[in-house]
């Protein structure tokens, strides 16, 4: 009688979970994105523990953003994510969207999927907003060149540590290089060691010898009537 066949041992290939593609796109924000931008800024304020300073409204954002062509004043890139290929955008006039496919072992559980469902007409039915970066032009007298200052960079919690923050910041850097800018700069909270390490790994130099100075609120309004 023939010997019994040995039990089959699953190979790593056989036991591996099927990959889960996630389609990502960085595009220019439009006025239709204001509700999502407002919610993202509020989440950023929570993360930075400064909700007591948060006073922006959808109305104030709508009235102060998107009044000039991109890159001449405050500009926002939006991060969109979808489990299916994103349709081509129809508004590449000022900026051609950057796309990337991320392969995941498991799908991401997004508890705010419905809240952040994309309002963009070029988004698919399951497209969500995952983050944003807001920046504006500045100028370096030492370099004799314009640059960009990044005011806010934020990725929602469930999408962090997957390369999307780098994707957003890289889009700003690429646009700066394309326009012949001298530098891109921003500030980072000294307690956010993960962000500091992330920026240094991207090649950024963290300047410890500088401090941020700010006039705001009543201190700023005191200059409204300089004659007094």
Report which of 127, 132, 131, 194 is spatially closest to residue 159, judged by C-alpha positions: 131
How many C-beta neighbours within 10 Å does residue 76 have?
A: 23
Q: Is 103 helix (H, G, I), strand (E, B) or coil?
A: strand
Contact 73, 136 (CB under 8 A): yes
Residue whose entry in the numeric block shows the structure tokens 């960085």: 26
- d(C-alpha 100, C-alpha 188), whole Å: 26
Sheet holding 184-185, edge to edge: 98-104, 20-28, 75-82, 128-140, 145-155, 184-185
Residue 139 falls in the annotated catalytic set: no
Among 139, 149, 199, 223, the one annotated catalytic = 199
Catalytic residue numbers, as ranges: 199
């Amino acid at each position: 009688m023939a010997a019994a066949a040995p039990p089959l041992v699953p190979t790593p290939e056989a036991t591996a979970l099927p990959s889960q593609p996630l389609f990502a796109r960085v595009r220019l924000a439009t006025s239709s994105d204001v509700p999502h931008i407002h919610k993202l800024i509020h989440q950023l304020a929570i993360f930075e523990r400064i909700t007591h300073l948060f006073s922006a409204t959808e109305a104030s954002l709508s009235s102060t953003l998107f009044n000039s062509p991109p890159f001449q004043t405050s500009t926002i890139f939006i991060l969109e994510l979808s489990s299916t290929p994103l349709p081509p955008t129809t508004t590449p006039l000022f900026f051609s969207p950057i796309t990337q496919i991320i392969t995941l072992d498991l799908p991401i559980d997004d508890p705010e999927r419905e809240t952040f469902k994309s309002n963009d007409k070029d988004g698919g039915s399951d497209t969500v907003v995952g983050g944003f970066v807001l920046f504006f032009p500045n100028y370096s007298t030492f370099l004799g060149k314009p640059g960009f200052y990044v005011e806010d960079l934020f990725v929602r919690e469930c999408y962090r540590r997957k390369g999307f923050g780098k994707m957003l910041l890289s889009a700003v850097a690429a646009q700066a290089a394309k326009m012949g800018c001298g530098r891109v700069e921003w500030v980072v909270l000294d307690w956010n060691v993960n962000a500091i390490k992330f920026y240094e790994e991207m090649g950024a130099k963290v300047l410890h010898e500088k401090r941020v100075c700010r006039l705001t609120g009543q201190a700023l309004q005191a200059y409204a009537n300089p004659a007094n």
